[in-house]
């Protein structure tokens, strides 16, 4: 089986280069992450510099794992329900500062790209209280559903090279075939994520 070819892009699209910041959760017994911690996060996490974008070669993209469960209101939702559309999968938590920083941009981009066949889906993690997560959604006007994943079980279905479950927020762009095309660790803006989504949305095969 051919292994995915992961190409670090540093969010460089059309000359755009940006550093991303995310909430990194240190595993028990692990060393310190690079970058200085700015603030404490949930479960003892710290806000550090995070990885930039990784773009996967078209012919080597890995299939996204099956994701299904309940949204924040208890309704069933699954990734398979979006097959045939480009999916922006965003991992977030209401407790995460960088998640709050990027949320308004994600809401705008989700509305703007809908006509291009792009759909957004969230994975809400480490929020035991769904009410706190729902308040986050309401405050930022997020019009897309989010799977409730308080224990991070859904995140562990992804290869760590594609989605590090310790990095919150993270964003994946999944192509119309259900394959992972772009992986981003850290918070992003509309201007940073938009060109990457547009690139995948323009693909015809």
Instruction: Going residue by residue through the chain, which has 205 residues, state the pLDDT in tens, using 9 for 90 and above.
Output: 555 555 655 444 333 333 333 444 333 222 322 222 333 344 433 232 344 799 999 999 999 999 999 999 999 999 999 999 999 999 999 999 999 999 999 999 999 999 999 999 999 999 999 999 999 999 999 999 999 999 999 999 999 989 999 999 999 999 999 999 999 999 999 999 999 999 999 998 6
Q: What is the CATH number of the domain that holds 75?
A: 3.40.30.10
Q: Per the confidence metrics, is the pTM higher than 0.85?
A: no
Q: How many domains does the chain have?
A: 1
Pair 22, 47: CB distance under 8 Å: yes
Tell whether 168 is covered by a domain: yes
Tell whether 35 is covered by a domain: no
Tell whether 30 is covered by a domain: no
| Structural domain containing residue 66 | 8-25+40-201
Tell whether 172 is covered by a domain: yes
């Amino acid at each position: 089986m051919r292994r995915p070819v992961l190409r670090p892009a540093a969010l460089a699209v059309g000359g755009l280069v940006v550093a991303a910041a995310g909430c990194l959760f240190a595993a028990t017994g692990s060393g310190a992450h690079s970058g200085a911690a700015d603030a404490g996060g949930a479960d003892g996490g710290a806000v550090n510099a995070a990885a930039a974008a990784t773009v996967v070669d078209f012919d080597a993209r890995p299939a996204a794992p099956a994701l299904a469960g309940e949204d924040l209101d208890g309704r069933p939702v699954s990734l398979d329900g979006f097959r045939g559309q480009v999916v922006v999968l965003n991992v977030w938590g209401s407790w995460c500062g960088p998640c709050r920083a990027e949320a308004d941009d994600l809401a705008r981009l989700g509305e703007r790209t809908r006509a291009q066949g792009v759909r957004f889906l969230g994975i809400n993690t480490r929020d035991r209280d769904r009410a706190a997560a729902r308040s986050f959604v309401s405050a930022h006007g997020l019009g897309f559903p989010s799977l409730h994943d308080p224990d991070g079980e859904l995140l562990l279905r992804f290869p760590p090279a594609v989605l590090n479950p310790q990095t919150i927020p993270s964003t994946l762009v999944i192509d119309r075939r259900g394959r992972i095309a772009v992986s981003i660790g850290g918070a992003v803006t509309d201007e940073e994520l938009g060109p990457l989504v547009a690139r995948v949305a323009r693909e015809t095969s």
